[in-house]
Structure 1
Amino acid sequence: MKIWTICIFELRRILKIRSVLLNLFILPLLLIFILGTALSSTMDTGKGTIPGPVRVGILQDKSASGWVSKALNAFVTSPAITSMMKVESMSSEEEAVHALRRGELDFAVIVPANLEEQVRKGEEARLQWILGKDGTLNVVGQTLFARFTDELNRQVAAAKVLGPEAVAVMTAQSQTHASDTSFITVSSPGKAGDSYSASQYYAASMLAMFMLYSGMTTSNSLFGERDKKTLMRLQAAPIGNGVIFAGKIAGNSLLAFMQAILIVLMSHWLYGVDWGTHPWLIVLICVLITLASMTLGVIVALVCKNATSASAALQGVIIAMTFISGGFTPIAIDFVQRISEFTVNHWALQSFLRMMLNAPVSEIMNSIMMLGTVCGVLVAAAALIYRKAGYRYE
């Protein structure tokens, strides 16, 4: 009961500070709006970047009727491929080039006349590309046909290792199953549920960052009792230091959780941020971030000598963790990404984004478990420091 009394008093005291309300409740919503609006063109939902069907011109010897030609025809006529490209037969290379220049084709493929013979001899199978004007469609065309040539080269490798007889067996199988062979697995990136908007990304990032800033109010509160000499009065009361300490931590934890609820609800109502379909997992993530925030505040409060140095140290840690975890902008450097895996922000952001992408619960829980592991390390460090330093007036 004494802890609850201190908790409520602490919460009421903090809510009277206007700067705290501005920094913890208003500022994150403004940053989500500004960053989400300013960077929406560079980080959109991906729906506008899905290329349409690629118009491909194929130039091959019409007299070719071997198993390679049959496999290629089965490949380009399979349902998965026809949804991604439209194929036209070309009679000559000049005709294909003119069609590309006029914009009638996006990509062209030349099938060497001796392709099947090359495969039988164990040589590398290659197709020739004629690129069009659109770089994205060129990449799509190359990727699709490269998968086909990879299958041919696999058979080339088999011929080198096992001999021509192995290719003959594969040839018979290919001729038997030519009608249902596509040699490719197709996915559709960029569709709804597979990408997130800039508002979603920065809502998740700013939520994690500003919840960690709640730890600064904890640090300031602990130092405030010392600086105002009120800690001695509290210690004179018939309550232990642990009760005082726990009550102040509980009050700041409630503040952080109130902050999370406000940011999640207001970002959804004002900016249309979709947080996914697992509200209880959001609650769990926010609880873990709150735990990390409080432990960070406790660590700096017990280690640093004054409130100024504690605030500077905690702010530097939070900004550094947010930066290397891609909270301000995604960072593609592999070394930085490795370091970010040791931060609270990284796993909190990944957990939120996986929920926004409607990922399987197992994937979401994997990120949450890693977040819990990081929080566990912080709690252990805070407990060890508290045991040695304690919360008392010196």
Structure 2
Amino acid sequence: MKGFLIAWKDFKVRATDKRGFTMMLIMPIILTMILGAALKDIVGGDEGFPQTSVGLYVAKKNHMAELLKRDVLEKTKFITVKSVDSEEKLEKMVKAGDLEVGISIPAEWSTNLEEAVLFTNQDKQIKAAVVESIITSFTDRVQMVSTASQVVMGDLAAAQAVSTSEENRGEVSENVIRALTDSGEEDVEISHQSIGAKSVSSKQYYAAAMLAMFLLFNVTLGAKSMIQERHTETLARLNSTPTSIYSILFGKFLGTLYFAFIQFFLFYTATSVLFNVNWGENKGQVIATGFAYSVAVAGLSMLLAGFITQEKTADMISGIGIQILAIIGGSMLPIYAFPEGFNIISAFTPNNWALTTFLDIMSGVGWSELLLPFFVLGVIGFVSLLIGAWRLRGRYV
């Protein structure tokens, strides 16, 4: 019971700090809107993958290049195709920013399907990668159809024909090739940052990213509060009362948990109501993730308090350490914009687990897909609490 009273006291102290409350709620909302708008081309807009202007140069007119343009590129919703009459002009237009991605098709492309040349600027690498994957998919499909056609027609030729009519054989051959070709002709759809059925917009991404980053500041706030009360001997006086050290430490943990969860809930409500951020259809999943992340943050605050003794150290961690975690965890730029090795590193950051879980919920997933992140965040929180409480207990007993 006393632990809950201590937690409520800590919560009221932080909630009545106008400057701190503004920084913890208003700033993440402002940054969400700024980054969501400024980096819309990187993450994608509310309609999915952003529109991409593609220039196409064909060195020698051929059937396969025409198929690529007509049946693939022009049928892809987010691609606008413009034909260019020379590779030099194509390169200049890309450099000038008139085109975002340029494709140069070699003269003998229809016979050997050698690699097409792609042109793009440094800030359009993601769009170029998507276009490259579309071309690769097309060439793989063509090779598959060609190989399958040769195998099937070889078997037909070797088999005893029902009719020896060349006309019938020609008709069978044409039907086989058409069926194989039609089986691969489907509109290209891109779904990113999602293991569910829906894509995630830039506004949604940065709402989750800013929430994950700013809740991390509660780690240093909680630890700093413990250090301040230690230096003013508030904790020592509290420990001299009948209140047990375990109640005190649990109360400090709960105080950070309360504030972090209320901060999450206010941010979630504000972005949903004021800015129409869609956090997903299942509100229960969002709230459960917010609570699990708040547990992790509160536990880490106790762990940090158990290993540092100076407020300056907490301030340094708040100013530098949190920013590093934010970058590695994907709160500043989408994690898929970094080298592949970053995915492994980011898995060790709690904010990345929270961020990716929120994104999965936005894209539409079931509860079963959320069990692992809930478990990881819970383990981070409780293990950190146990280690931090063990360290802090030794200073007062």
Q: CA deviation at 1:261?
A: 0.9
Structure 1 counterpart of 2:351: 345
SS in 2 for 1:250: helix
> Are the aligned partners of 2:306 and 2:389 in contact in 1 as well (CA < 8 Å)?
yes
Structure 1 counterpart of 2:95: none
Letter in 1 for 2:36: G
2:216 pairs with 1:212: yes
Cα distance change of structure 1 residues 319 and 384 upon mapping to structure 2, 3 Å threshold: same
> Are the aligned partners of 1:52 and 1:84 in contact in 2 as well (CA < 8 Å)?
no
> Are the aligned partners of 1:125 and 1:149 in contact in 2 as well (CA < 8 Å)?
no
Letter in 2 for 1:151: M
Structure 1 counterpart of 2:96: none
C-alpha distance in 2 between matches for 1:335 and 1:317: 20
The alignment's TM-score, normalised by the length of structure 1, stands at 0.71
Structure 1 counterpart of 2:299: 295
Matches within 5 A, 1:67-216: 126=113, 142-143=135-136, 145-152=138-145, 154-155=147-148, 165=154, 168=157, 175-181=174-180, 182=182, 183-184=184-185, 186-189=187-190, 194-216=198-220
C-alpha distance in 2 between matches for 1:108 and 1:303: 59
Structure 1 counterpart of 2:236: 232
C-alpha distance in 2 between matches for 1:139 and 1:311: 45
Q: CA deviation at 1:346?
A: 1.4
Q: CA deviation at 1:340?
A: 0.5
C-alpha distance in 2 between matches for 1:271 and 1:233: 47
Structure ID, larger Rg: 1
Letter in 1 for 2:45: T
Cα distance change of structure 1 residues 84 and 269 upon mapping to structure 2, 3 Å threshold: closer
Cα distance change of structure 1 residues 200 and 234 upon mapping to structure 2, 3 Å threshold: same
The correspondence for 1:384, drawn from 370, 384, 387, is 387
Q: CA deviation at 1:240?
A: 0.2
Question: Superposition RMSD on alpha carbons, in Å?
Answer: 4.7
* Number of aligned positions between the proteins: 351
Cα distance change of structure 1 residues 77 and 393 upon mapping to structure 2, 3 Å threshold: closer
Cα distance change of structure 1 residues 273 and 247 upon mapping to structure 2, 3 Å threshold: same
> Are the aligned partners of 1:205 and 1:349 in contact in 2 as well (CA < 8 Å)?
yes
5+ residue gaps, structure 1: 62-68, 86-95, 116-123
Cα distance change of structure 1 residues 37 and 263 upon mapping to structure 2, 3 Å threshold: same
2:256 pairs with 1:263: no
1:82-137, CA deviations, whole angstroms, 9 ceiling, x for partnerless residues?
9559xxxxxxxxxx979xx9xxxx9999998xx9xxxxxxxx75499899xxx989
Q: CA deviation at 1:305?
A: 1.8
Percent same amino acid among aligned pairs? 20
Q: CA deviation at 1:326?
A: 1.9
Letter in 2 for 1:149: V
> Are the aligned partners of 1:97 and 1:130 in contact in 2 as well (CA < 8 Å)?
no
5+ residue gaps, structure 2: 78-83, 90-101, 119-126, 160-168
Q: CA deviation at 1:205?
A: 0.7
Structure 1 counterpart of 2:320: 316
